[in-house]
Amino acid sequence: MYKHLLVALDDTPLGMATVTHSVSFARALGARITFFHAAPDLAATGEGSMLHSLDRQAFTAESDMPRHAVLLKAATAARIGGVECSTDALVSDHPAQAIVEAAQRHACDLLFVSSHGRVPGLRGWLHSSVTRQLLQIANLPVHVASIESNDEQADANRALAIVAGEHRSIAAVLTGLRELDRARRIDGTIPDVALMRQMADYLRQFPARLHHPKEEAFIFR
């Protein structure tokens, strides 16, 4: 029986759906998860090179933010689902190899992935060619949880995954507020009031302005 899953994620709605599937799968097995995100090198793109030249601080933030957001939401979903997890990320132009090496590094016994399938263009970093490469080079079992292009409900599932991802973002901010308060009460740590104010502002404004309209105008219309 599998005990440690390496769950490869991209930053698309399919990645959010993969998180949901993997948490349910791991909970049923009593397994733990390492979420892994392999991102391309932003500096290798024209836009990235220009941003690096103009504003290195912004370049650093732009490079780190997407993968941090993907993994934070995934970890939040695992915590809510009662599944032990850790996270890892790597900048790589060879994502399939990076995924296999991450599985070896964390002593995982199963690769858990999803595929976009036959979708034109480049949608996300973990697309069908990466999945095929994994099946060719992996030295441990590969579980393909879903193939998006074969899913008759793909459009509905993408919409639901976007909403679920926003739920996880809200949950992550709430967890952060809870941890700041816990540190204050237990360790006497002086809280970062400016950060707490930003988090509270997010919780007041984001759901009302951006999140609930998606639900009301599209999902539950």
d(CA 9, CA 71): 8
Q: Which of 80-84, 94-98, 147-151 has the lowest mean pLDDT?
A: 147-151
Amino acid 58: pLDDT:
46
What does the pLDDT average to over 148-177?
Answer: 80
Q: Has this prediction a pTM greater than 0.75?
A: no
d(CA 124, CA 82): 28
d(CA 10, CA 82): 22
The pLDDT tens digits for 171-200 are 888 888 888 888 888 888 788 888 888 889
The CATH architecture to which 4-151 belongs is 3-Layer(aba) Sandwich (3.40)
3-class secondary structure, 146 = strand
pLDDT at 104 over 90: yes
